[in-house]
Structure 1
């Protein structure tokens, strides 16, 4: 099998595609023939040894993928060879095969193609956990999404609307904001051209946003927090900007607000039944047409490093997916 390998920590250009032995499952594991693997922001970190999880070298990036079960371990009962599944493994997905625990796969929705399926779990899972569980977003509240044109940002827009919120999308260009509008955003802020704090207050009649969803960090974190409503919830989702902001904690006191961490990867490990309930909700919304991943581009495995570079350089609205060019 071929795999995109990280053999030394570094930028995407250090990744190589090589042949490695086919995989074999342990008793509670499955091997999936991967058809498509989505690229997510953690992939840009894990190859540089900057992520919370640090696999041993060499490894393949790619935390979510979709394909067909090839082999199952002796104790596996929930899936069988030939089943079409979505895998969420943390890493290992950008390869022709991925090894998973049996509980790390779920059946694909029949209406999903492999590319769409590969781009579904991490972004929507993160955003539903953030908005429903961590923020307790209520119908009629205002949700402000930073980095709104990215994968988790667009998912947050769609889920916010599904939960009955008014959604303000913030991004860095008119083109990115147009994508946000297509996915249901009610109001738009270009934070390259407009003052973020002032515009959030204007769009909320001076009240501020009830929930701020921040996967970006960096320079916009503090002005966003300054525009939060009384008893608001500020969701710390990630740091795509590359800078972890230092927040003046007196703002939390003055606003009576909560600064809430969102770590979906550990949530899934610690609360697997709650994760499965969330995935059931998301699949229902997909079947209803309420949510749909925005696929910006696809890359063959041979160009997998380019896909990671495109995301790292923030040239992407939605998701990019690496395909294995297998028969459908």
Structure 2
């Protein structure tokens, strides 16, 4: 089979190589899966660079989120077991973590449902307790992670402020349903949020960016607000001023979704049921901006690493026509 593999760490476009290799052999409690679509995530870039929290042995295949088919013909979504990632024709995954793909989503959309939307749901509901009528501030609102949070915020009845970089991404954020869009290239984030909320600030902040985004969030979070730290796409991990959190009376909440798979897998499955229901009702729909041919996978991972994309890039081993089921 063909698989994209990383033989040394570095930038995705430089270190990802398309190899001919054997199909992976599932271990105890695992399933062999034929990949139908693989969603590109920022962690795939971090894996290539050797900067992710998990460092699989070299060579490895990136690709942490897929829609696939089991040997008995079931259409599923899964997080592959590294080093056998999803940017390959076949992969393996733990059977206990394999979930049915929603019928209302095509292969590319289903591949983009799991990690981003689960992270959003746990971050907004389990960690931040987002309530109807509250104001949600989402950084990188036109990106893969941010677009999921925007849709989930609207589904919860929140007023959503989206922060983006550039006019094209601003248009995407408006189309997603953001009530207010802030272009960080042209606008003062803090002033814009204060103006949009009558000076109160955002009740919940969803931050997958870190760095300057976090610094701005701390200046415009509301009384008893909650900042959910999801990731550091900027590459800058902030050191929050705890004295500021004390004086301003807000909470800083970490969200490591992967731990729920270990600590509370039943909650992950319940969340999947909720997301499947949301998809059936049209409340959420992954924003797939591009269906990428398998031969262009390395370029797709690099573009996500560079932050130049909107929504999701999904790689299709069968070509762009393979995303229709």
* Aligned residue number for residue 151 of structure 1: 144
- SS of residue in 2 equivalent to 1:98: strand
Q: What is the number of residues matched between the two proteins?
A: 318
Of 94-103 and 295-304, deviating more is 295-304
CA offsets 1:190-248 (integer angstroms, 9 cap, x no match): 11111111111111101110001100011121121111001100010001111112222
Assess if the C-alpha contact under 8 Å between 1:143 and 1:213 holds in 2: yes
- Structure 2: any 5+ residue segments left out of the alignment? none
In the other structure, the counterpart of 2:80 is 89
1:89, 1:104 within 8 Å by CA — same for their partners in 2? no
Give the CA deviation at 1:90: 6.2
For residues 113-262 of structure 1, the aligned pairs below 5 Å read: 113-262=106-255
CA distance in 2 between partners of 1:311 and 1:289 (Å): 26
Q: CA RMSD in A?
A: 1.2
What whole-Å deviation, never above 9, does each CA across 1:24-75 have from its counterpart, x for those lacking one? 22331100000110000111111111111111111111111112112xxxxx
1:75 corresponds to: none
- Answer yes or no: is the 8 Å Cα contact 1:148–1:157 preserved in 2: yes
Instruction: Report whether the alignment pairs 1:9 with 2:13.
Output: no
User: What is the TM-score when the length of structure 1 is the normalising length?
Assistant: 0.94
- Alignment partners' CA distance in 1, 2:274 and 2:104: 16
- Summarize the Cα distance change of 1:295–1:90 in structure 2 as closer, same or farther, 3 Å threshold: farther
| In 2, Cα distance between equivalents of 1:54 and 1:269 | 18
CA shift digits 1:102-147 (9 cap, x unpaired) = 0121111223221111111011111001001010000111000011
| CA deviation string 1:64-99 (max 9, x = no partner) | 1112112xxxxxxxxxx1111111136411110111
The whole-number CA distance in structure 1 between the counterparts of 2:32 and 2:97 is 11
Contact 1:237 1:261 in 2 (8 A): yes
Specify the SS of the correspondent of 2:49: coil
Correspondence for 1:297 among 277, 280, 290? 290
